[in-house]
């Protein structure tokens, strides 16, 4: 072999090795959702039992979460999931193998015209296209979380502690000023507020909510509503007639670990 042929062989060897590895890995496997084109997907629905997350392209082409008060979705996170679903392959489950009896997570993919592009059920290590697909063993199932904050780029409104002048509890007998230590507690809670595990405010029963009014140094006010979330934490909603950043977040309920303080 001359030097030119040797150089060419050295260049092609890694490419041939990579191709052989890919063929070996794909051997005996089949795609879960053959023909899926991520660019055509305009709507994703994930559900298990009563839990449901709906992702869709909005009027401007960006992604939103209609199941969570149209919160802004993270397009990079969605693109990653769609690419993973497009490439997902598995091996047919062995005949006679015990079926996973747990309720599956179902994902449904639709186009802009509502046409069904793909639907599948996922268990821990298995998946099956619907309807009538073959049940496959999946080595690395995609992450398909069933809570909106995992898909969103929503941010909680920021309320710096040094802007809070006073906090009142709104009671049937009128507003009652909270002591300084309670004001500090509320200021810390608002300063640490995040959008992790947020939900649509309309999905929360606000009956019997604890009500506080936060007064800022510039005269603006923020009203707080809080109720237990049923899992040991609390839903917190913020509203304001004067602060745009807070008013934009009034559709959402944020989760916090501690209850709002009460007037002694």
Percentage of the chain exceeding pLDDT 90: 75
pLDDT at residue 20 above 60? no
Phi, psi (degrees; rounded to nearest 5) at 74: -90, 105
Confidence of residue 25 (pLDDT cuts 50, 70, 90): very low
Closest CA to 177 of 213, 221, 226: 213
pLDDT at residue 28 above 50? yes
Other C-beta atoms closer than 10 Å to the C-beta of 196 total: 13
Distance CA 70, CA 54 (A): 10
In this prediction, residue 262 carries a pLDDT of 87
Q: Could you tell me how many helices (H) and strands (E) the chain has, helices first?
A: 4, 17
Confidence of residue 132 (pLDDT cuts 50, 70, 90): confident
Mean pLDDT, the chain, whole residue set: 89
What length is written for the chain?
264
pLDDT at residue 101 above 90? no
> Running DSSP on this structure, what letter comes out for residue 24?
H
Digit-coded pLDDT (tens) for 36-84? 999 999 999 999 999 999 999 998 889 999 999 999 999 999 999 999 9
pTM: 0.83
Confidence of residue 13 (pLDDT cuts 50, 70, 90): low
Query: Exposed/middle/buried for 76, CB within 10 Å: 0-12, 13-18, 19+?
Result: exposed
In this prediction, residue 11 carries a pLDDT of 64
pLDDT at residue 26 above 60? no
Digit-coded pLDDT (tens) for 102-124? 899 999 999 999 999 999 999 98
Cβ–Cβ < 8 Å for 90, 142:
no
> Running DSSP on this structure, what letter comes out for residue 73?
B
Q: Residues 159-184: what's their mean pLDDT?
A: 94
Alpha-carbon torsion (197, 198, 202, 207), positive or negative: positive
Of residues 26 and 12, more confidently modeled: 12
Cβ–Cβ < 8 Å for 72, 105:
no
Of residues 15 and 178, more confidently modeled: 178
């Amino acid at each position: 072999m001359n030097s030119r042929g040797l150089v060419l062989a050295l260049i092609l060897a890694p490419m041939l090795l990579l191709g052989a590895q890919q063929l070996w890995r794909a051997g005996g496997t089949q795609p879960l959702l053959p023909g899926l084109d991520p660019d055509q997907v305009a709507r994703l629905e994930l559900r298990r039992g009563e839990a449901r997350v709906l992702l869709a392209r909005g009027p401007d082409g960006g992604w939103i979460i209609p199941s969570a008060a149209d919160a802004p979705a993270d397009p990079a996170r969605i693109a990653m999931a769609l690419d993973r679903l497009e490439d997902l392959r598995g091996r047919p489950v062995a005949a006679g193998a015990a079926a996973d009896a747990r309720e599956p997570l179902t994902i449904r993919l639709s186009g802009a015209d509502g046409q069904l592009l793909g639907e599948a059920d996922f268990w821990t290590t298995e998946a099956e296209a619907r309807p009538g697909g073959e049940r496959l063993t999946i080595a690395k199932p995609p992450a398909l979380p069933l809570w909106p904050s995992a898909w969103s780029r929503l941010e909680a409104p920021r309320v710096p502690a040094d802007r809070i002048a006073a906090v009142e509890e709104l009671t049937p007998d009128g507003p009652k000023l909270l002591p300084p230590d309670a004001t500090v507690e509320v200021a810390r809670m608002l300063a640490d507020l995040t959008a992790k595990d947020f939900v649509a405010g309309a999905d929360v029963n606000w009956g019997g909510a604890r009500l506080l009014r936060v007064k800022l140094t510039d005269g603006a006010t923020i009203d707080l509503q809080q109720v237990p979330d049923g899992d040991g934490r609390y839903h917190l909603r913020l509203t304001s007639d004067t602060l745009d950043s807070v008013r934009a977040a009034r559709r959402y309920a944020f989760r916090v670990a501690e209850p709002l303080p009460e007037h002694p």
